[in-house]
Amino acid sequence: MAAVSRRLTLLLALLSLFAAPWGCRVESDDADLGGAAAPPFALEDLAGRTVHLVDLRGKAVVLDFWATWCTPCVFQIPVLNAFHERHGDRVAVLGVAVDAGGREVVEPFAAEHGIAYPILLGDEGLAQRFGASGFPTLFVLTPDGRIDSAHIGVVEEGALEAAVAAALGEGGAL
């Protein structure tokens, strides 16, 4: 396990050298936001349906701000796919694409990378209202719509599980 962790750290360090000029970050910068209310939104998904954040009350929400041009964002996809497959019945997993090209850019990218969780068409303005300072940035929301934590950079599976468990008040694993 230590060898895997060292390899991941080395990979993230190398990616940060290449990703920094493109405006995305890969280092981890987890934050406890003290229960601030999540900014409301109504965004269209890739199927053309409008998703209102308020309609997700009662579930924890994993909200991942990402972009097709962000290389580290690609590494987040398998983690979120696996989490969505295991916990999608009680935790809403949403990707918010911030690409200026919108659906024309995002839809083929999502298909090519096998994204299984819903993708919403957002923008960098919404990401900034949430407090994202780079991509990917993932927020975990409590069932009552508060931001419980923020994770800048690629989030490992165990950290995501722990963050959602904390947002649900479960202390341990999901």
Instruction: Give the pair of three-digit tokens for residue 44.
Output: 């269209």
Q: What is the pLDDT of residue 174?
A: 73
Residue 144: phi and psi, rounded to 5, are -95, 10
CATH for 2-167?
3.40.30.10
The residue that leads in pLDDT, 173 or 112, is 112
Helix-helix angle 71-87:2-19, to 10 degrees: 130
Q: What is the pLDDT of residue 171?
A: 66
Average confidence (pLDDT) over 99-120: 97
Rounded CA-CA distance 84/170 in Å is: 18
Sign for the CA dihedral angle at 93, 166, 70, 100 comes to: positive
**Cα separation of the two ends of the chain:** 22
Amino acid identity at 42: A
pTM of the model: 0.81
pLDDT in tens, 61-102: 999 999 999 999 999 999 999 999 999 999 999 999 999 999
What does the domain layout of the chain look like in residue ranges?
Answer: 2-167
Listed in sequence order, the DSSP H helices in the chain are 2-19, 71-87, 103-112, 124-130, 157-167
Q: Are 120 and 45 in contact (CB under 8 A)?
A: yes
